Amino acid sequence: MHHRNYVKNRWVRLKEEPIMDGVKDMQAMLKRMFLLLAIFSAVIIVPTSDSFPNGVGKEGSSGCLCHGGNSDLTYLEIDGLPDKFESNISYDLNLRIISEIEIASENSSKGGFRINVSHGEITFENTSYGYFIEDSWTHTEEGNKFRSWNFTWISPEDNSSSVEFKIFGNAVNGNGDPYGDSWNYLDFKLGGVEYFDDLSVKQKDYQIQAYEAIILAIVFIGLIYTALKAIK
């Protein structure tokens, strides 16, 4: 009887050992994956130390993401637009960034913008403050020293159409890196005098960004690792 129990217990241990070895191997693999993902996410998620005093191109089409998410600390105002536009009329506009972000010094960078208008033309009162790049207007290095800019919008000939304005504004503290800055945006439609349809802006479909997918992967791997550790 004793010999039979010994054989049975030995068989159980032999059966469990490969399982536990497999669990340990899985834990080690998950540790390595977790570490690699953490390092990779640190590279992707943490904003770079580069700033854009010379303006921003298509990389700013979804906002000033290298400065973090949009913030209620900052908002934009644009003056000079009519309730409805006439054909081929020049409208003198002023874009202002209002923000609680303090400026490091009077001569440092203060703010920047990216202006995208679906129809019509834009010209700047002072061409040294803004220029056209990759389908939009943005600030120059000289224009980066302000939080208010004057420009002219020439309306399209078709006053039975609508025009979408998508404007990003970033209030910077002038320390030369993305930390401590704050941005926001305006996205609206303006109709012509003969336009009578809906002016609401369609919400863009939300897509998971690369850094969000990495975070989800890290959380998922962490949960699996915790579960496997509990098996021990």
Same domain? For 111 and 226 the reply is: no
Higher-confidence position of 180 and 219: 180
> Could you tell me if residue 201 is inside a domain?
no
Mean pLDDT on 160-179: 86
pLDDT tens-digit profile of 64-121? Answer: 444 445 567 899 999 999 999 999 999 999 999 999 888 877 778 898 899 999 999 9
Higher-confidence position of 61 and 97: 97
Domain count of the fold of the chain: 2
Q: Is the pLDDT of residue 25 over 70?
A: no
Same domain? For 74 and 185 the reply is: yes
Mean pLDDT on 52-69: 48
Distances (CA, A) of 119 to 29, 34, 40: 54, 48, 41
pLDDT score at 49: 38
pLDDT score at 213: 59
pLDDT tens-digit profile of 120-140? Answer: 999 998 889 998 988 889 988
Mean pLDDT on 47-70: 48
Average pLDDT across the chain, whole number: 75
Q: Is the dihedral of CA 48, 50, 52, 58 positive or negative?
A: negative
Question: CATH number, domain at 71?
Answer: 2.60.40.4060
> Could you tell me if residue 203 is inside a domain?
no
Query: Helix, strand, coil shares of the chain as percentages rounded to 5?
Result: 30, 30, 40
Binning pLDDT at 50, 70 and 90, where does residue 189 land? Answer: very high
Distance CA 26, CA 224 (A): 10
Mean pLDDT on 154-181: 88
Which residue is listed with tokens 């109709």? 191
Specify the DSSP element, H or E, that contains 107.
Answer: none
Q: In what order do the strands lie in the sheet with 121-124?
A: 74-79, 90-99, 148-154, 121-124
> Could you tell me if residue 30 is inside a domain?
yes
> Could you tell me if residue 52 is inside a domain?
no
Q: What torsion, rounded to 10 degrees, do the Cα atoms 32, 25, 217, 182 define?
A: -30
Binning pLDDT at 50, 70 and 90, where does residue 54 land? Answer: low
Distance CA 97, CA 139 (A): 13
Same domain? For 146 and 71 the reply is: yes
Highest mean pLDDT among 9-23, 114-128, 198-212 belongs to 114-128
Q: Is the pLDDT of residue 151 over 60?
A: yes
pLDDT score at 24: 63
Chain centroid to Cα 20, Å, comes to: 44
Binning pLDDT at 50, 70 and 90, where does residue 12 land? Answer: very low
Mean pLDDT on 43-55: 47
pLDDT score at 27: 62
- As given in the structure block, the two tokens for residue 33 are 């994956």
> Could you tell me if residue 199 is inside a domain?
no
Same domain? For 95 and 184 the reply is: yes
Instruction: Provide CB contacts within 8 A for 169, sequence distance 6+.
Output: 74, 76, 95, 97, 111, 112, 113, 147, 183, 184, 185, 186
Distances (CA, A) of 127 to 94, 142, 145: 15, 10, 14
Given a contact cutoff of 8 angstroms between Cβ atoms, the answer to whether 86 and 193 are in contact is yes
Range of the domain at 226: 13-46+210-231
pTM: 0.62
